[in-house]
Every structure is written in C-alpha cells, then in structure tokens.
Homo-oligomer: A and B are copies of this chain.
Amino acid sequence: MKALLILAHGSRKKESNDEVVKLAESLDRTENSGFGKVLCAFNQFSEPSAERQIDILAGLGATHITILPYFIAGGSHVTEDIPRLADEARQNHPGIDFKVTAHLGAFEGVKDLIMREVGV
C-alpha cells in the first residue's frame, strides 16, 4: 500500500493546523489518488509527529511512504530536518520505501495555480 504523509511546520494556532488536517482528509477521500492512506504531521507546535504517523502507516501495511514537505520555501526544516527524519524512518522501517518530494513552493505548478486563482 502506498501512503502519503503531508508534513507541515505546525502552528500554535489550532485553526492553522486544522487547515492541513482538512487537506489531508480531503486527499485521503480522493478516489484514484493511488494512495491507500493520506495523513498529515507537524514538525513543531502540534501533534501528531511524523514519527507517530509513520508508525501508524506502517501498521496499516504501507510499503511506500511519500513525504511531502508542506512548506512555502526551503528553510532548515526542508533541507535538514525532514531528510534526517526520513533517514531515521528508513532505519526504523527497513521494509518501507520512503521518498521525500520537493516542498510545495518548489512545485512546477505553483505559478499556474496563482495565475488561475488570482489572475485578472
């Protein structure tokens, strides 16, 4: 089973984290996404942690976990913390194939998304 983990910075504001939770739930409900399960996790200020969610996905039988750094730009969380977290996850779950994608802000489609949503 292929799983997706949306990993966000996390905020002290619950409503802010709830936006990420809702996105993950919406993706999880999406038919034909190719992912058997979509969860989210937070680096800071909020639970659940990536480690906990990866354990849950492993328990659900995930064989591939794609980690999406849900960040605007590539600060130290993206360049250091998340790759380290993925390395630790590989050691803890040797039977699972982990992949870390580009962070959201680096996605090719961001420019088109902006033009579609705010274009005049």
- Judging by beta carbons under 8 Å apart, are A68 and B118 in contact? yes
Q: Is the interface of A mostly helix, strand, loop or mixed?
A: mixed
Complex Cα spacing A120 to B38, Å: 12
Complex Cα spacing A4 to B120, Å: 10
Number of copies: 2
Name, among A34, A105, A114, the residue most crowded by chain B CB atoms within 10 Å (CB to CB). Answer: A114
- Judging by beta carbons under 8 Å apart, are A23 and B110 in contact? yes
A99 nearest in chain B by CB position: B118
- Chain A interface residue count, Cβ-Cβ cutoff 8 angstroms: 47
Instruction: Give the Cβ gap from A104 to chain B, nearest Cβ, in Å.
Output: 7
Instruction: Give the Cβ gap from A103 to chain B, nearest Cβ, in Å.
Output: 9
Name, among A30, A66, A117, A118, the residue most crowded by chain B CB atoms within 10 Å (CB to CB). Answer: A118
Complex Cα spacing A20 to B19, Å: 22
Task: Chain B residues near A72: list those with CB within 8 A.
Answer: 8-9, 19-20, 70-72, 104
